[in-house]
Amino acid sequence: MTHRFTHPDAIRTRFSEAMSAMYRAEVPLYGDLLSIVAEVNAEILATRPDLAAEMAGELDRLDVERHGAIRLGTAAELHMMRRAFAVMGMYPVGYYDLSVAGVPVHSTAFRPVDDDALNANPFRVFTSLLRLDLIEDEGLRAEAEAILSTRRIFTDEAIRLIEKDAAEGGLDDADADRFVAELLETFRWHGDARVDATTYHRLHDAHRLIADVVSFRGPHINHLTPRTLDIDAAQRAMQARGIDAKAVIEGPPPRAVPILLRQTSFKAIEEDVTFPGDQPGQHTARFGEIEQRGAALTPKGRALYDRLLATARGEQGSQGASYAERLATAFTAFPDTIEELREQGLAWFRYDLTDAGQRLVGSGVRPAGDIDAWVAAGHVRAVPIVYEDFLPVSAAGIFQSNLGGTEQRSYAASAARAAFEDAMGDAVQDELALYADMEARSIMTVREALRGVAA
């Protein structure tokens, strides 16, 4: 039986394209980042045929790949946002407590979760919820709450289509187009503030981020990030074009085998806004970012990453003059070949048959041993699974740099995952379980192919 529903992957692609076009019009520098990344990626693929071959299955998604970020104000907004993302096959993965880094939000990433959906389009949105409970001034907290309680960030038509999708199990093509256009309105920039200048400044004094979330009509998309294959080259290209790039690339140092996520951004731009009564003002929130993704790490690998990063950041005594040097020195302790990462159980892998493995299947010989033996014999290939998520320390660095950089606050660290999930109306998925599952399924497929020979 065929049905008339448009696939969620297709809706997600339409939405991420619409978002990219909108943001390029709103923040022209983002268009520059897209062209830098396109140039760098083309150059790398032309000069590194090994990489091009290794990435074969992933190349299709590279040009469309990007992530964005929004900051929400209320539980109800997060709840409806979760339902809106579900229409596009995006689900909450991971819980990030940014309060430890002095940013009064907690967050999740809405993203596709299974192999096919990720390959079709891995569009992700880092979604934060403001934590009013961390505002000390009770009067200001109540005021912020009252202001937020009267705004409506979704159009009536968007809500109608979200409900229709949930009730009927999908949207047809015309409804899908309408949904994309209506939901886009939620992410649009509105320069006309909902609060007067005095209130804006009071909120701003409590924390820049509070002003950004509370003062406006909606959760404007604050950056969109294309994925590069060489972030050092992209960083140099940004500087060569005179773009005011962040000084330090967040995440691990340059490596032969990239791990996790490296990110750089240009500083947030100062934009004209108007307060009620046509009073002019200025607001700084929106920026651009470039990312490079590498291997997803196992809990053991992640623990090593966290420890070495802490060392480089001087939290446990560090060596080297610049941060880049300290980082490079600390990470000499992180194995940098595919074989070591695999043998030491530091990264997750996807396994598939090599040409030799295919021939073996065809010849009817059943190979002895297990996955390790088949890899050693050259019948099976291990390719690192791409990290699809975010890093809390890096995210905090990104927040800090685009909030003006100088601000240092501290909050009594307190994760509030249960409250976040309660507000959202669903639990966040465990990213480690998702990677473990991908690896296990690929081993099963390979084993079936090779064992089928003997059957």
CB of 67 to Ni ion, least distance (A): 6
CB of 283 to ligand OOG, least distance (A): 14
Q: Name which of residues 188 to 227 contact Ni ion (CB under 5 A).
A: 225
Cβ atoms 91, 110 nearer than 8 A: yes
Cβ distance to ligand OOG smaller for residue 75 or 377: 75
Q: For residue 43, which amino acid is it?
A: E
Q: Name which of residues 242 to 301 contact Ni ion (CB under 5 A).
A: 289
Residue 228 binds what, of Ni ion, ligand OOG, none (CB under 5 to 8 Å, by partner type)?
A: none
- Whole-number Å distance between alpha carbons of 15 and 242: 31
Cβ distance to ligand OOG smaller for residue 69 or 327: 69
Cβ distance to ligand OOG smaller for residue 82 or 220: 220
Q: Coil, strand or helix: which one is 95?
A: strand
How many residues touch Ni ion (CB under 5 A)? 2
Tokens 């389009």 correspond to what residue?
121
CB of 455 to ligand OOG, least distance (A): 47
Cβ distance to ligand OOG smaller for residue 41 or 264: 264
Cβ distance to ligand OOG smaller for residue 12 or 246: 246
In order, the DSSP letters of 96-140 are: EE-GGGT--EEEEEEE--SHHHHHH---EEEEEEE-GGG---HHH
Residue nearest to ligand OOG (CB): 395
CB of 289 to ligand OOG, least distance (A): 6
Cβ distance to ligand OOG smaller for residue 30 or 179: 30
Q: Give the bridge partners for 350, in sequence order.
A: 383
What are all long-range contacts of 248-254, with beta carbons under 8 Å and residues at least 24 apart? 248/323, 248/324, 248/397, 250/391, 250/393, 250/394, 250/397, 250/398, 251/391, 251/394, 252/294, 252/305, 252/309, 252/327, 252/331, 252/334, 253/324, 253/327, 253/328, 253/331, 254/328
Could you give the string, one character per residue 393-432, with x where binding to Ni ion holds by CB under 5 A and - elsewhere? Answer: ----------------------------------------
What secondary structure, in 3-state letters, does 272-287 show?
Answer: EEEECCCEEEEEECCC
Cβ atoms 118, 61 nearer than 8 A: yes
Residue 222 binds what, of Ni ion, ligand OOG, none (CB under 5 to 8 Å, by partner type)?
A: ligand OOG
CB of 103 to ligand OOG, least distance (A): 8
- Whole-number Å distance between alpha carbons of 392 and 101: 9
- Whole-number Å distance between alpha carbons of 206 and 51: 48
CB of 454 to ligand OOG, least distance (A): 48
Cβ distance to Ni ion smaller for residue 12 or 66: 66
Residue nearest to Ni ion (CB): 289
Query: CB 10: neighbour CB atoms within 10 A?
Result: 16
CB of 257 to ligand OOG, least distance (A): 21
- Residue 41's alpha-carbon distances to 67, 70, 149, 242, 260, in angstroms, are 17, 27, 45, 20, 18
- Residue 271's alpha-carbon distances to 24, 26, 280, 287, in angstroms, are 15, 11, 11, 11
Cβ atoms 93, 409 nearer than 8 A: no
List residues binding ligand OOG (CB under 6 A): 69, 71, 126, 128, 222, 263, 289, 390, 394-395, 398-399
Cβ distance to ligand OOG smaller for residue 27 or 398: 398
Residue 438 binds what, of ligand OOG, Ni ion, none (CB under 5 to 8 Å, by partner type)?
A: none
Could you give the string, one character per residue 117-146, with x where binding to Ni ion holds by CB under 5 A and - elsewhere? Answer: ------------------------------
Cβ distance to Ni ion smaller for residue 225 or 298: 225
Residue ranges binding Ni ion (CB under 5 A) = 225, 289
